[in-house]
Structure 1
Amino acid sequence: MEFEGAFELEGVEPEDAWVMLSDPIAVRDALKGCRYITPLDDEDFNFDDYEAEEDVETLPEADPEEVADRAFREETDYAALMQVGVGSVKPRFETQVRIGERDDENYVMTATGSGAASSSEFEMESWMEIEETENGSRINWGTEADVSGRVAQLGNRVLNPVADKIVNNFFNNIEQQMTDVEESDEGGVTSRLRNML
C-alpha cells in the first residue's frame, strides 16, 4: 500500500516546521493513538513495562537545549507504541522505527520501520521533505507499507480513509503547536534551537 500527500502550514517557516517535526515529544503529542516514541537503546525493550513521561514540555515552554538533545538522530532506532482504530479493529502496534537520512539543510528525513499487533503486522518506508511556499511551508510526505493479517483483510477501502484521518489530524495538531510557538517566540527560541540541531 502506498500513501502520500502534502500539507500546507500557513505562516510557518520551513526551518520552524523542521524543528517541530524533529522533536519526538511534539510528534507523539500530535499523533493520535501514540503512547510514546523513545530511543531504543536496549535489545530487550519491553513495550508493556516502559513508562512514558507524561506532560513533557514542548516548544515554546520547553528548554531549547532539552529539545535539541532529544531530537531525532540519523541512523538511530526508536520504539513507538501506537493504538489505531481501523473499523471494528483497534490493534496496538509495538513498532520499531529507524531514522535513516536526516538532512538539516534541505529538510528531508527518511525512516523505515515495522510493527506487530495481535494478528496484524506491517513494514514501512517513509519520507518527508519540507519546502518553502509563498505563505509558509509545504510538507510533502509518503509511506509505502506492507500490511498483513487482520488489518490487511479490511482492504484499502477501509484503510485509506483511516490513514487520511490520522495524517490530517497529525498535521493540524502540528500546525496548532507551531502557531503557539510563533505567537510566543519573542526571544527567538526556534532560531537558537535551529542552530543546535
Structure 2
Amino acid sequence: MNFDGDFEIDDVTVEEVWLALSDPYMIKTALPGCEFLVRVDEEDVDFEQLRTEMTDRAADPPILPEATPEDVAERAFEEGGRYATLLELSVGSVKPSFESVVVITEREFPRMRTSGEGSAASSSFELSAGMELAETDTGVVVEWAAEADVFGRIAQLGGRVINPVANRVVHQFFDDVADRLNEVGDAEATDDRENLRDRVRRLL
C-alpha cells in the first residue's frame, strides 16, 4: 500500500519545522494513539518492560514552544538510531496495539527517511517512509510518502478501511505539530522570534 501527500504550515521556517519533526517527544505527543517512543540499542526489544518503565517514569520533558531549541537538538533523532514505539489505532472494528521498531535510515536537512516493522496479536506491518521540507511564500510545505505492507487481520479489511484511517492519523499529526509551531510564533515578539530562528539555524 502506498500513501503520499503534503501539508503546509504557515508563518514558520524550514529550520523550525525540521527541529520539531526531529524531536521524539514531539512525535510521541502529536501522533494519535502513541503511548511511547524511545531510543533503544538492543536488537530484541522487551515491550512489556518498556511499557512499565514508561508508566513509572516522570512526565515527559517539555516540547516546543516550552523547550529550548538546544534541548530539542540534543535529543533529536539520529541517523541509524533505532526507536521503539507502542501505537494503538482503531481500524474498523479492530483496535490493535502495535509494538514497533523504527530505524532512521537517512537524516540530512531537509530530508528524513525511516523504515520499520510492527506487530499486534493478529496483525503486522512493514513500513518505509520519508519526508522533505521546502519553503513556500507563506511558510513551509512538508512532502511525505510511505509504503506499507500489512498482514493478518487488518490486511483483510482492505484499503477501503485502512486508507481513511491512515489519512486521519497523518492529518491529526500534522495539525497538532502546526498548532504547536504557531504557539512558538504567538509566544515570541518579532525580535525574539528572529533570535529563535537564528539559534535554530546554528544547530543544523
Q: TM-score range by the shorter chain?
A: over 0.9
Specify which structure has the higher proportion of helix.
2
* AA at the equivalent of 1:125: S
SS of the counterpart of 1:57?
A: coil
Q: How much has 1:44 moved relative to structure 2? A: 4.0
1:63 alignment counterpart: 68
Counterparts of 1:113 and 1:126, CA distance in 2: 9
Runs of 4+ with >6 A deviation:
none
Pairs within 5 Å for 1:90-105? 90-104=95-109
Q: What are the superposed Cα offsets for residues 47-97 of structure 1, whole Å, 9 maximum, x if unpaired?
A: 122233534201221133321111000111111110011011001000000
Number of aligned residue pairs: give it: 195
SS of the counterpart of 1:45?
A: coil
RMSD after superposition: 1.4
2:7 alignment counterpart: 7
1:189/1:46 CA distance change after superposition, 3 Å: farther
Give the % identical residues.
44
SS of the counterpart of 2:63?
A: coil
Within the alignment, does 1:19 sit opposite 2:19 as a pair? yes
1:154 alignment counterpart: 157
2:172 alignment counterpart: 169
Equivalent pair of 2:13/2:139 in contact (CA under 8 Å): yes
SS of the counterpart of 2:186?
A: helix
Within the alignment, does 1:145 sit opposite 2:148 as a pair? yes
> What is the TM-score of this pair, normalised by structure 1?
0.93
* AA at the equivalent of 1:195: R
Equivalent pair of 1:19/1:194 in contact (CA under 8 Å): no
1:13/1:39 CA distance change after superposition, 3 Å: same
> What is the TM-score of this pair, normalised by structure 2?
0.90
Q: How much has 1:45 moved relative to structure 2? A: 2.8
1:196 alignment counterpart: 203
* Structure 2 residues not aligned, in runs of 5+: none
Q: How much has 1:190 moved relative to structure 2? A: 4.5
Counterparts of 1:15 and 1:4, CA distance in 2: 22
Equivalent pair of 1:4/1:143 in contact (CA under 8 Å): yes
Counterparts of 1:16 and 1:63, CA distance in 2: 12
Equivalent pair of 1:19/1:190 in contact (CA under 8 Å): no
* AA at the equivalent of 1:76: G
Counterparts of 1:57 and 1:113, CA distance in 2: 26
